[in-house]
Every structure is written in structure tokens, then in C-alpha cells.
């Protein structure tokens, strides 16, 4: 099957079974295990009025008994390239919206759209398209992953399009995003890298260290210059060494750094994930998908920027050399794996999927936790951590699917 983005795979149309609720009617979810910033509450309730969570239920509220289920804040993905057969880098507006909706069906109520390395003029054009969707509230902003990355650690990026992080060119991209640029991934050891970090910090854009061949000392220098994120820690960077600790040690030890982790069972060994949590803590870890077109769509061949990708058994690899090319992960799967395979507490998983990314994006006043006054973004899971409902800004995207 081929769609407008050039993806070929097996379509998996999503089906939802909405609860018979009156549109816009205040709703109270009762009997749930509710994960709050202060801890987990058994037999708790969450009240929604309009698009917000409220402290008290109006008299006309409908009550939905969700006993035996978890109610969590909506998931937040700060690094996502597409889904549903659609690419955020090359798809039309309709394609991008389909990709966004695909991830919403899996609990991601807030998403930052990521691009991959491309020609500078093309990336500036994409920034214009994506900024319009950010202005409409469909995405939380734009993340530029490349072209300012190391050819030694390029991963699934086209080497011929890579370039040093000249601050003038970095500025061109953030200007093209019209105030909607959220993050730029840089190999900060390259010429212009440190100056570009300072430029990004001055403009309120997150400077992320990634696809880097930096030494420990070079990484410390970049952090001191204002870098605050590690792009998919462990991946596309030198491994941790006992004589040459490289960027991993510098990124884990500094409290100013939030580390991204791709928890799909392919990108990281469970011991690496545990190391990151033990050293950084849940309040410095953000689970991401790094998803490409095939997320929520199926195996087959796809394009990631100018590079062709083969997806088999849910693992995406470049057709040319087998390099891992993003993921097909969705955040509901990342959550379930975190608690059932990695042994994380539900509270720590929620922190990494919601509260930490909300804080990083500067949006903690609106999203990231279930508190009165915040957006009614929530996820409903059953006792086996399977997704049974998704609400975004007070409207059900999925479910609730109750027995």
C-alpha cells in the first residue's frame, strides 16, 4: 500500500467506541486509581468541565464508573517524526494531521513534531507549515533534528546534507518557525556548536546534544553554554568508557540536563535504562518515541527524509546498511514496558511520560498532571496497563472502553 507520503505498509485503521456521553457535558470519572503529583489515590475521581479539570462537579455532571482502571495525565512526546503512514518532514498538512491523530489514539495528547536532516531551504519551508499547525494548537512546537550533527554519529540522516552548526543558519531555521521552534539537536563539538547553543538559549529554544562524537570535556562545555537536553541518550553517541567517559557521563551527571530515552526494547538494553533512572531520576528523564511513519501503521518500506527504510517486525532500519532508523513506538507501549519489563513504578513512568516533558516545554501550568485548572488531557488504562480511553482538552479521542 502506498500513501501520499510514499509509505508502503499494512493499514491498521483505528476504531474507537465512545462512551454514550452528551457532548460538552461535565463528566466525573470515579472509582479509579488516579496518579496525582502528590501520589497515587485509590478509589479517586477526576472531574472535567469543558476543556479543564475542575475541583468540584457541577450538579448536571454525568458520572462514569472506571473502577479497576488507572487515570493518568495525557502523555507528552517531545521527539516524534510521524506515524500512521505519514511523515512530519515531508507529508502534506493532511498527512501530518493523520500522524498526530495516530499518536493521540495511543495516549499522546501533546506532541512536538520533529524533522530530519534536509536541505536548509526545504527545512525552512517545513518549519512554516508546521508552525501553522502549532498556532492552531495541533502540535506543541517544532524540533529540528539535523542537519547540524556529526557525520561520525549520523544514524539515519543523509551524510551529504549534514553541515556544521553555523549560528546564522541555526537562526534561519528558528526564524522560519515563527516562534514555534522548541528544540534543535546539535553536535556541539562541531565548529560553531557552542555559539549556536548560546544563540538558542538566548531565543528560548532548547539546545539538545545529540548525534554527537563529543568528548566528556566538550560536552561539559556545551552544557555550561546552555544545552539542557540529551537527544535519545546512549544512541548516536560514543559509548560510556572508563577512561574516556564521553558525553554519556557528562549528560547523566549534570542536573541541568533532561535525558530522552526510547523505551521500545530495541534502542536500549533494560540495564541502560535503569542506569539512566538511577543516576538522573525520573524528574530528569523524558520518554520519547522518535517515531517514524510506520508507528501505528505496519511493516513495509518507507522514506525517512531522503533515505529508504525497511520496517520488519516493528523495527525500522535503513535499507542500505541496517542502521536503526527511528522507531515504531507509541507512548502507551513505552509506559507498559516501563512498569512490566523495566520495573519502574507507575509514578516514575508518569513522571517521565508527562510531568518531565511538560516542565521541559515550559507548559507545566497547563499540562503534565491531573490538577484543577489544567487541560483535561488524560489516559485511561486497565489493570494490565492496556489503553482503554484517551481524552484531550475535555473531548474523548478514544473510549472509554469499559466492560
User: Would you please indicate which residues are annotated as catalytic (active-site) residues?
Assistant: 290
Which residues are within 8 A (CB) of 360 and not within 5 positions of it... i.e. 6 or more apart? 78, 206, 228, 229, 258, 286
Name 279's Cβ contacts closer than 8 Å, sequence gap at least 6.
Answer: 252, 253
Give the helix ranges, DSSP H, for 105-166: 120-135
For 246-303, what is the HEC assignment?
A: HHHHHHHHCCCCEEEEECCCCCCCHHHHHHHHHHHCHHHEEEECCECCCCCCCCEEEE
| Alpha-carbon distances, residue 119 vs 5, 144, 197, 253, 352 (angstroms) | 18, 12, 21, 35, 33
| Longest Cα separation, the chain | 66
Indicate the pairing of strand 206-209 with strand 181-186: parallel
Q: State how far the Cα of 29 lies from the Cα of 310, in Å rounded to an integer.
A: 42
Q: What is the DSSP secondary-structure string of 319-345?
A: TTT--B-SB---HHHHHHHHHHTS---
The answer to whether residues 102 and 94 touch, using CB atoms and an 8 Å cutoff, is no
Q: Which three cell numbers stand for residue 275?
A: 542506569
Q: CA 155 to CA 158: how far, in whole Å? A: 9
Q: 246: exposed, middle or buried (C-beta count within 10 Å: 0-12, 13-18, 19+)? A: buried
**Cα–Cα distance for residue pair 80/302, rounded to 1 Å:** 16
Q: Please tell me the distance from the alpha carbon of residue 146 to that of residue 186, in angstroms, as a whole number.
A: 7
Amino acid at each position: 500500500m502506498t500513501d501520499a507520503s510514499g509509505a508502503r505498509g499494512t493499514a491498521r485503521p483505528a476504531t474507537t467506541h465512545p462512551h454514550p456521553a452528551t457532548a460538552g457535558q461535565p463528566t466525573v470519572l470515579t472509582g479509579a486509581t488516579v496518579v496525582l503529583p502528590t501520589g497515587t489515590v485509590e478509589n479517586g475521581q477526576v472531574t472535567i468541565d469543558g476543556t479543564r479539570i475542575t475541583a468540584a462537579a457541577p450538579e448536571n455532571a454525568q458520572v462514569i464508573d472506571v473502577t479497576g482502571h488507572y487515570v493518568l495525565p495525557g502523555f507528552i512526546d517531545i521527539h516524534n517524526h510521524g506515524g500512521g503512514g505519514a511523515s512530519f518532514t515531508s507529508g502534506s498538512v493532511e498527512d501530518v494531521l493523520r500522524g498526530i491523530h495516530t499518536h493521540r489514539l495511543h495516549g499522546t495528547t501533546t506532541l512536538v513534531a520533529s524533522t530530519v536532516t534536509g536541505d536548509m531551504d526545504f527545512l525552512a519551508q517545513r518549519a512554516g507549515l508546521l508552525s501553522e499547525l502549532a498556532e492552531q494548537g495541533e502540535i506543541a512546537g517544532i524540533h529540528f533534528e539535523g542537519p547540524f550533527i556529526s557525520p561520525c554519529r549520523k544514524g539515519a540522516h543523509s551524510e551529504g546534507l549534514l553541515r556544521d552548526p553555523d549560528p546564522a543558519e541555526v537562526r534561519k531555521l528558528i526564524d522560519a518557525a515563527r516562534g514555534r521552534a522548541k528544540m534543535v539537536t546539535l553536535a556541539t563539538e562541531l565548529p560553531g556548536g557552542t555559539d549556536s547553543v548560546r544563540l538558542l538559549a538566548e531565543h528560548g529554544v532548547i539546545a539538545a546534544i545529540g548525534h554527537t562524537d563529543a568528548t566528556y570535556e566538550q560536552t561539559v562545555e556545551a552544557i555550561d553554554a546552555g544545552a539542557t537536553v540529551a537527544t535519545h541518550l546512549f544512541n548516536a553517541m560514543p559509548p560510556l568508557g572508563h577512561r574516556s567517559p564521553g558525553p554519556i557521563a557528562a549528560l547523566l551527571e549534570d542536573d541541568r540536563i533532561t535525558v530522552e530515552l526510547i523505551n521500545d526494547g530495541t534502542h536500549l538494553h533494560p540495564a541502560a535504562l535503569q542506569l539512566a533512572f538511577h543516576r538522573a531520576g525520573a524528574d530528569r528523564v523524558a520518554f520519547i518515541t522518535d517515531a517514524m511513519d510506520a508507528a501505528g501503521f505496519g511493516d513495509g518500506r518507507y522514506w525517512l527524509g531522503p533515505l529508504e527504510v525497511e520496517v520488519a517486525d516493528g523495527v525500522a532500519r535503513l535499507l542500505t546498511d541496517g542502521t536503526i532508523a527511528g522507531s515504531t513506538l507509541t507512548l502507551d507501549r513505552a509506559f507498559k514496558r516501563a512498569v512490566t519489563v523495566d520495573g519502574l513504578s507507575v509514578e516514575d513512568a508518569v513522571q517521565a511520560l508527562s510531568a518531565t516533558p511538560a516542565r521541559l516545554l515550559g507548559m507545566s501550568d497547563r499540562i503534565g498532571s491531573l490538577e484543577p485548572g489544567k487541560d483535561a488531557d488524560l489516559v485511561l488504562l486497565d489493570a494490565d496497563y492496556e489503553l482503554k480511553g484517551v481524552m484531550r482538552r475535555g473531548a474523548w479521542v478514544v473510549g472509554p472502553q469499559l466492560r
